[in-house]
């Protein structure tokens, strides 16, 4: 899947963030992110940025929660999310992320798998640039939602993997 755009918006009625991923094939994936899920996954995202993906040069940008980034190009938060009658491979109802696996998948890349209680799943291939943009959008959405989470880029305390060796979150 080749990503065209990412967007994170606050859904104040649901008290959730909505991650929208648009692809070059005009597909759209929607994932709900709760406050609890963001609090739990943030240290793992930062650890990946400061660890496996730290060697890549990236222009760090500040984002607004309702803007987007086009991976592979210079990060731009000016363009509106393209909504050109996309198809929804996982359905129009957003996947409610309740489990995640974040793992190094190659030189300079990582894989983030978001699952909904062992039902639907979504896999996002990450480069340092994409992960930086995603983190910037998560921070902006956290502020917009007034969740008051401390989402710092400081290196968190080391996270020990579960006994199985996987990095599975709740």
Number of H helices, E strands in the chain: 2, 9
Q: What is the pLDDT of residue 52?
A: 87
The one-character DSSP state at 142 is H
Answer yes or no: is pLDDT of 20 > 90. yes
User: In the Cβ-directed half-sphere of 6, how many Cα atoms lie within 13 Å?
Assistant: 29
Quick one: DSSP state of residue 55? T
C-alpha pair distances (Å), 144 with each of 35, 95, 170:
12, 21, 25
Radius of gyration (C-alpha) of the chain in whole angstroms: 15
What is the model's pLDDT at position 79? 61
- Residues 151, 139: contact at Cβ < 8 Å? yes
DSSP 39: H
Token reading at 142: 């956290």
pLDDT in tens, 90-101: 999 999 999 999
Tell me which residue range forms the domain holding 41. 3-169
3-state secondary structure of 27: strand
State the helix-helix crossing angle for 128-145 and 35-50, rounded to 10 degrees: 150
- Give Cα 50 distance to the centre of its chain: 16
More confident residue, 39 or 169: 39
pLDDT at 159 over 80: no
> Tell me, what's the pLDDT at 156?
54
Q: Where are the beta strands (DSSP E) in the chain?
A: 3-11, 16-23, 28-33, 68-69, 95-96, 99-106, 109-115, 121-126, 168-169
Count of domains forming the chain: 1
pLDDT band at 66 (very low <50, low <70, confident <90, very high): very low
Sign of CA dihedral 7, 122, 45, 144: positive
According to the model, what pLDDT value does residue 74 have?
Answer: 44
């Amino acid at each position: 899947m080749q990503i065209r755009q990412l967007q994170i918006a606050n859904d104040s009625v649901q008290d959730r963030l909505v991650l929208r991923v648009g692809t070059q094939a005009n597909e759209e994936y929607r994932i709900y992110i709760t406050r609890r899920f963001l609090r739990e996954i943030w240290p793992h995202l930062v650890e990946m940025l400061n660890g496996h993906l730290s060697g890549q040069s990236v222009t760090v940008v500040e984002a607004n929660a309702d803007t987007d980034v086009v991976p592979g190009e210079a990060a731009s938060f000016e363009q509106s999310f393209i909504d050109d009658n996309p198809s929804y491979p996982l359905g129009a109802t957003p996947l409610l992320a309740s489990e995640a696996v974040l793992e190094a998948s190659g030189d300079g890349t990582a894989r983030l798998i978001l699952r909904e209680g062992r039902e639907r799943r979504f896999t996002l291939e990450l480069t340092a640039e994409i992960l930086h943009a995603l983190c910037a959008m998560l921070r902006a959405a956290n502020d917009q939602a007034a969740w008051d989470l401390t989402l710092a880029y400081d290196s968190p305390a080391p996270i020990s993997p579960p006994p199985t060796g996987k990095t599975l979150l709740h």
